[in-house]
Structure formats: C-alpha cells, structure tokens
Amino acid sequence: MDLKDCFVVEAKMALPNQFFVGRIGSRWIIAMRDQKKIMGLRCEKCGVTYVPPREQCHRCWSWIADNWVEVGTTGELVNYTVVRYNDKHTPKKAPYVLGQIRLAGADTPLTHIVGDVDPADVYPGMKVQAVFADGPVNTLMQIDHFRPL
C-alpha cells in the first residue's frame, strides 16, 4: 500500500457498556468492598500472581481460578498517561493521571487513577497506596484512586 492511498477519518466514539464480571470479578470486588483487601490469583505452575485476577495463566495456560492470594494495597507506578480531555464517560475531571500500578505481591499491573498529586509530579517508579471508596460502589472504583506514599 502506498501512503497516497491512506487517509485519516476524525471521529469521536463513546463506548459506555456494562458487563457481568462473573464469579472471579465478583469475588475480587467483594473483597475490596467488604474487607478493603486486594486479591489476586496465583499460578502454582509458573508462580505468576495476576491482578486483576483471571481464570487462566497467560504464560502456561493453566487454570488458576481457585488459588486466591492477598496482595498489598501499596505498589509502584510502572507507567502512566495524563488524560487531558473531559468526556461524560471519563471517571474524573481532566487533567488526571491514569497509571499502571504493580501492587506488592502481584506480577501484573492494575490500571487505575493516580490522585492527590499534580500530574507534573508523577513519575515511573513512584510508590503509591490504594485509597478505598467510602461506601459500596461494586465496581473497580471500590478503589477510589491511588495516592503517592
């Protein structure tokens, strides 16, 4: 394909959706809601702990849906972006930081909001801690955001 055959279409796309999180996601959210604990699923075969949890190990394909472990509520910011636009589907008013956080005891990062900090002061490697919602939310937003330690 020649570049002269390419073109750009500018558009806006809104993707509001709801889905059933199933028994794995439900158990994960209930632990956050009722106990202020973050749980993961650990693969006994290769030792990987997944947060968010999943039924199957993505390295060795073993089924791991019953090997729950508690991970920490603190972690390290692995990567991030600053969201600089407002939309009815975004969880906060811009600008805000959306980061990937590897929690203590987990091998995979959790994508979530990093708050209580100026976006200009955020950096990879920053230590953060979960701030839980005051009341029941029954979604991933049971963790309201992560704040710098």
Instruction: Express each pLDDT in 71-107 by its tens digit.
Output: 999 999 999 999 999 988 888 999 999 999 999 999 9
User: Which amino acid does the sequence have at 139?
Assistant: T
| Res. 37: pLDDT tops 90 | yes
Model pLDDT, residue 19: 62
pLDDT above 70 as % of the chain? 89
Task: Pick the closest to residue 149 from 120, 121, 129, 125 (CA basis).
Answer: 129
Q: In this prediction, what percent of the chain has a pLDDT beyond 90?
A: 77
CB 104 within 8 A of CB 119: no
pTM value is 0.85
113 in Cβ contact with 91 (< 8 Å):
yes
End-to-end CA distance of the chain: 50
Mean residue pLDDT across the chain: 91
> Hey, what are 142's tokens?
């049971």
Instruction: Report how far residue 128's alpha carbon sits from residue 18's, in angstroms, rounded to the nearest whole number.
Output: 29
